[in-house]
Amino acid sequence: MATELNEQEIQRRQNLQAIRDMGINPYPAAEYPTDAFSTDIIETFNDEDPEPRNVCIAGRMMSRRIMGKASFIELKDSKGRIQVYVTRDDICPGEDKEIYNTLFKKLLDLGDFIGIRGFVFRTQTGQISVHAKELTLLSKSLRPLPIVKYKDGVAYDAFEDPELRYRQRYVDLVVNEGVKETFEKRTKVISTMRRVLDEAGYTEVETPILQSIPGGASARPFMTHFNALDLQMYMRIATELYLKRLIVGGFEGVYEIGKNFRNEGMDRTHNPEFTCMELYVQYKDYNWMMSFTEHLLETICTAVNGKPETEVDGKVISFKAPYRRLPILDAIKEKTGYDCEGKSEDEIRQFCRSKGMDVDETMGKGKLIDELFGEFCEGTFIQPTFIIDYPVEMSPLTKMHRSKPGLTERFELMVNGKELANAYSELNDPIDQEERFKEQMRLADKGDDEAMIIDQDFLRALQYGMPPTSGIGIGIDRLTMLMTGQTAIQEVLFFPQMKPRKVATETKEETEETEE
């Protein structure tokens, strides 16, 4: 069912037709030869230059002040904003003044893309501006932007509704300052991470997203059907098992930055589609990986923020090495007074229930310990902290601890109360790995829908021999949240998953534009 046009949308379509009737193409196909950006013009302007700089710029018209034969507009390009001075006699040097009187004054709307040729000057009020000698319509906007209006120091019609911002990120990027900067910092996070890994000599690779067996993590997968093979397939929940196959094949170190998919809940720190970096390096262990992680994150934070510190929700978080290292059982004992070491599954379950936790018989010992840590510990670690030495029941892909029976050489990095990274000394004993998989299947039989499935091909690869290896996964979305000071994962995803709309109409009326 078509959405009914509002008054402004009807007017813009009428303006569009009037422009066509003037013989002007409102969507020209030819290249527009821009040679400058707003920020470049402002930063390089010099009052002492003997001749004014000629420029060709383009962008959205965000405001307009018409004063008879002259006008001021604010142009927004991909870098920032700049003022443009437009006069009737300059853009219509002949007798025909229709371009100015009709097109510019009446038919152009806020949000339209225009091109400007002219020269740079400073106005009497001291503002660096472009004096337009030529104006070209490049693209007509048929929907009004939600332009913020101010009255008595109060802002009205701000585009602040989070649901609307996430659904219409394209509008959010145009009208809200700072949003684009967040995503530019996200790009910096990834490019710096890639640079550090490349400089270390590791190889970036790509592995399958569609997999016949979802492996490498304990999570519910998304399922789909592969018509050509008539097979049920899964969206990957991790890249781990394929990357380890490449270590078996002889790579020194491999990493992948890509999407994973987990068919689980959504909240301010979880999105079912997320970006992760996984790295595997031969002849290393989790102790080495902790040191490398400190170096990696300190480098990223400095590149993004100019210093190894970031601020999130009023808390200053330092990524300067070294970070605290705390065994998980010690963390639980520290926060609850209960020592899980040596306790049976039933004993731990009873303790959980005594604390009012909702646990059931399907949860094994590892899952119960994980629930305890999540309930009482996780949110308390604000500064980067390595939680280490997890019980074997929690770590089906991890090498047994070299000196602590029943534990594994695994760490999770906690920052600002959430897990940022997960890493192991990787299990490379194929017989031990097969037994761990079988234990996961026993948990699945008990009703654990996050238990891993046996991957026979991965076991076959291990049987050919995998060298001692350390691996890590780092959540790019959460890392970006930390580096940009955001507290909701939706703020660092261009297009986060959203619940379907219940109605076709907008949940919030589009605001009226005004010409300042």
Q: Work out whether the CA dihedral 324, 326, 332, 333 comes out positive or negative.
A: negative
Mean pLDDT over residues 41-61, rounded?
Answer: 96
pLDDT digits (tens, 9 = 90+) for 308-346: 999 999 999 999 999 999 999 999 999 999 999 989 999
pLDDT at 476 over 70: yes
pLDDT digits (tens, 9 = 90+) for 97-156: 888 889 999 999 999 999 999 999 999 999 999 999 999 999 999 999 997 776 676 666
What are the φ and ψ backbone dihedral angles of 313, each rounded to 5 degrees? 50, 45
Comparing CA positions, the residue from 401, 397, 392, 394 lying closest to residue 458 is: 397
| Interatomic CA distance for residues 301 and 319, integer angstroms | 7
**Confidence class of residue 3 from pLDDT cuts 50, 70 and 90?**
confident
Coarse DSSP helix, strand, coil percentages of the chain, rounded to the nearest 5 percent: 35, 25, 40
CATH superfamily assigned to domain 179-209+236-323+383-492? Bira Bifunctional Protein; Domain 2 (3.30.930.10)
Cβ neighbours around 372 below 10 Å, total: 25
Indicate the helix (H) or strand (E) that contains 366. Answer: helix 365-376
| Interatomic CA distance for residues 319 and 306, integer angstroms | 12
Q: Are 83 and 118 in contact (CB under 8 A)?
A: no
pTM greater than 0.85: yes
Helices vs. strands in the chain: H and E counts, helices first: 15, 20
| Interatomic CA distance for residues 210 and 192, integer angstroms | 28
pLDDT digits (tens, 9 = 90+) for 239-254: 999 999 999 999 999 9
> In Å, how far are 62, 180, 192 from 42, measured between CA atoms?
18, 20, 28
What pLDDT, on a 0 to 100 scale, did the predictor assign at position 506?
Answer: 46
Order of all β-strands in the sheet with 231-235: 210-211, 231-235, 223-226
| Strands (DSSP E) found in 124-211 | 128-139, 149-151, 154-156, 203-204, 210-211
Per-domain residue ranges of the chain: 7-145, 147-177, 179-209+236-323+383-492
| Interatomic CA distance for residues 314 and 312, integer angstroms | 5
Among 2.30.31.70, 2.40.50.140, 2.60.40.10, 3.40.50.800, what is the CATH number of 7-145?
Answer: 2.40.50.140
What pLDDT, on a 0 to 100 scale, did the predictor assign at position 44?
Answer: 96
Comparing CA positions, the residue from 2, 270, 13 lying closest to residue 144 is: 13
